[in-house]
Structure 1
Amino acid sequence: MKYIQVTFSFKTIEEYQQDLLIAELGDIGFNTFEEAEGGFLAFIDVNTYSEDQLKNVLKQFEGEFECSYVISEIEGKNWNEEWEKNFEPLIINDQCYVRATFHEAQPAYRYEIVIDPKMAFGTGHHQTTTMMMQYILETDVKDKEILDMGCGTAILAILAAKKGASKLIAIDYDEVCYQSSVENAALNGVENLEAICGGKEVIPSVEFDIILANINRNILLDQIPTYAKVLKDGGSIFFSGFYESPDLEMIKAACVPFGIEYINHKKNGEWVAAYFKKN
């Protein structure tokens, strides 16, 4: 398979700005990113790439940083080999140990998750995923039915399963994420997780006790009405993938018409995760 490689270079850019740019690129189909001197590399299937979409993304950041980019076509890489070079085990709240298949097991931790991310987002290393995992560790999920939207590797759903959730639906529009979710559920012996490829249109018409949505502000704002329909009264929803200002206030405002009340939020760097409850 052939890929488009886009090499981004910046005179100056803040880390949170680069993270936000990567998140927006992910929304238009870029699925692998590598650090490079002065910037980063982004990769996308040649059949998915649209220069108009790329220009529209960059237009959102006009005036925030100076950016140049070079486009080239390449043959597919051994993506697993690439991430294995830098993937290190992760410990969350001294309770959860996240590792790859080539790391040694650590049975001393209460929860151990084995993740083979391939090109899918969600090894737990990004601040948004870490905060969402912290919320899950702090929440009683036993016997709860849970929806994990924008699931990536399904790491959040898998952690909830290990904590006793009764049923889990993990949804992502990316085929690689879907396949990764299926494989990671099997790696962790999770049999009550159903992975679905798609967006809000494939959310089953059932009610959930908890919704996990680690995506980005714009998609969350679009999907909140759908979440409200499938969240049980008294149910909890955890959002991440956005910033404290102005994003959090926008999320709060979008939830008000549906009786979904803000409870609290976490912040890690510029990123935020927030807890809401449906009255």
Structure 2
Amino acid sequence: MDYLKVSFAFGEIEEYQKDLLIADLADIDFETFEDTTNGFDAFVQKSLFDHAKLDVVLAEHQSLNANYEVEEVASENWNKEWESNFSPLIITDNCYVRATFHEAQPQYQYEIVIDPKMSFGTGHHQTTTMMMRYILETDFEGTSVLDMGAGTAILGILAAKRGAKDVVAIDYDEVCYESAIENAKLNHINNLVSLHGSKEAIPHQNFDIILANINRNILLDQIETYVSVLKKDGLIFFSGFYETPDLDIIKSHCEQFGLIYQNHKKIDNWVSAKFTK
């Protein structure tokens, strides 16, 4: 599978402006973003790239005066890009995330090995980091967990390491679906099932905890479905959106379906939020 790298350059750009542009690019199938000296690189599957949609997004951000170049990146070169940019990550004092090409650090209680390939979720993005912090401070012992928009399945893997009895990881991207299977094996997790699809792929069972790190629009579309499979008093953690204005929109929508806001975490303007049913 081949990818395109779209390199964006800006004269000046504020961090919040960059985040808003990246969020809009994610809505048109861009998957991964890497900072550069003058802007950032964005990666999209060649088959999904739509030049017209990109022009529409950039028109909505015309004040940034963005310049960009498009370059084809063969899949074998993608992994080299990851290896050159993926550094180990410490989430808390007891959780360490590394790739297969990094040395093991067995002194950490939770060591997660991730082979990211072309899927999202190494723990480096603010939303993933906050979701992992929530998992580390929540009791998962004996729970049934649904991980939506699973990417590499890093959240589901950590949930399993924290004692979840079973984990269902779902992603609409085939690369993510396959990546979740491979990463579960890398971490010796045998109670994680990876499914390919979206909300229609959610099995007809009840879950104690739901993890959904996607984006605001998809969450708004899928919250009703999540509630239908979440047990009474169950927990649900959302991420992939901003504090302003997204959090209030998410909270208002959740209230319609009986989800009660508990608290949220914030890094930069990105937010993760906890709700109960």
TM-score w.r.t. the length of structure 2 is 0.94
Letter in structure 1 aligned against 2:12: T
Corresponding position of 1:203 = 202
Cα deviation for residue 172 of structure 1 reads 0.9
User: Counterpart of 2:30 in 1: which secondary structure?
Assistant: coil
2:94 and 2:27 map into 1 onto residues whose CA distance is 32
Aligned identity (percent) is 62
Q: Could you say if the C-alpha distance between residues 56 and 145 of structure 1 is closer, same or farther in structure 2, counting changes exceeding 3 Å?
A: farther
Corresponding position of 1:277 = 276
TM-score w.r.t. the length of structure 1 is 0.93
Corresponding position of 2:220 = 221
1:206 and 1:60 map into 2 onto residues whose CA distance is 41
2:33 and 2:266 map into 1 onto residues whose CA distance is 24
How many residues were matched structurally? 277
1:250 and 1:80 map into 2 onto residues whose CA distance is 37
Cα deviation for residue 62 of structure 1 reads 4.7
Gaps of 5+ in 2: none
Cα deviation for residue 263 of structure 1 reads 0.3
Match status 1:242 vs 2:249: no
1:74 and 1:183 map into 2 onto residues whose CA distance is 23
Corresponding position of 1:263 = 262
Provide, for residues 214-238 of structure 1, a one-character-per-residue CA deviation record: whole Å limited to 9, x for no partner: 1111111111111111111100000
Corresponding position of 1:22 = 22
Q: Could you say if the C-alpha distance between residues 87 and 157 of structure 1 is closer, same or farther in structure 2, counting changes exceeding 3 Å?
A: same
User: Counterpart of 2:48 in 1: which secondary structure?
Assistant: coil
Letter in structure 2 aligned against 1:136: I
Letter in structure 1 aligned against 2:216: R
Match status 1:179 vs 2:178: yes
User: Counterpart of 1:13 in 2: which secondary structure?
Assistant: coil
Letter in structure 2 aligned against 1:12: E
1:115 and 1:77 map into 2 onto residues whose CA distance is 17
2:172 and 2:248 map into 1 onto residues whose CA distance is 26
Corresponding position of 1:121 = 120
Q: Could you say if the C-alpha distance between residues 16 and 152 of structure 1 is closer, same or farther in structure 2, counting changes exceeding 3 Å?
A: farther
1:2 and 1:212 map into 2 onto residues whose CA distance is 30
Cα deviation for residue 27 of structure 1 reads 3.3
Corresponding position of 2:110 = 111
2:218 and 2:276 map into 1 onto residues whose CA distance is 19
Letter in structure 2 aligned against 1:85: S
Q: Could you say if the C-alpha distance between residues 142 and 44 of structure 1 is closer, same or farther in structure 2, counting changes exceeding 3 Å?
A: same
Q: Which moved more, 1:239-248 or 1:17-26?
A: 17-26
Provide, for residues 207-256 of structure 1, a one-character-per-residue CA deviation record: whole Å limited to 9, x for no partner: 11101011111111111111111111100000111111111000000001
Cα deviation for residue 206 of structure 1 reads 1.3
Q: Which moved more, 1:66-75 or 1:134-143?
A: 66-75
Match status 1:42 vs 2:42: yes
Contact 2:244 2:269 in 1 (8 A): no
Gaps of 5+ in 1: none
Cα deviation for residue 2 of structure 1 reads 4.4
Cα deviation for residue 6 of structure 1 reads 2.1
2:60 and 2:170 map into 1 onto residues whose CA distance is 27
Cα deviation for residue 185 of structure 1 reads 0.3
Cα deviation for residue 198 of structure 1 reads 1.1
2:123 and 2:113 map into 1 onto residues whose CA distance is 11
Corresponding position of 2:33 = 33
Provide, for residues 30-68 of structure 1, a one-character-per-residue CA deviation record: whole Å limited to 9, x for no partner: 2343433322222323221112222333344355x3323
2:245 and 2:266 map into 1 onto residues whose CA distance is 14
1:152-163 pair list within 5 angstroms: 152-163=151-162
Q: Could you say if the C-alpha distance between residues 62 and 259 of structure 1 is closer, same or farther in structure 2, counting changes exceeding 3 Å?
A: farther
1:30-179 pair list within 5 angstroms: 30-63=30-63, 65-73=64-72, 75-179=74-178
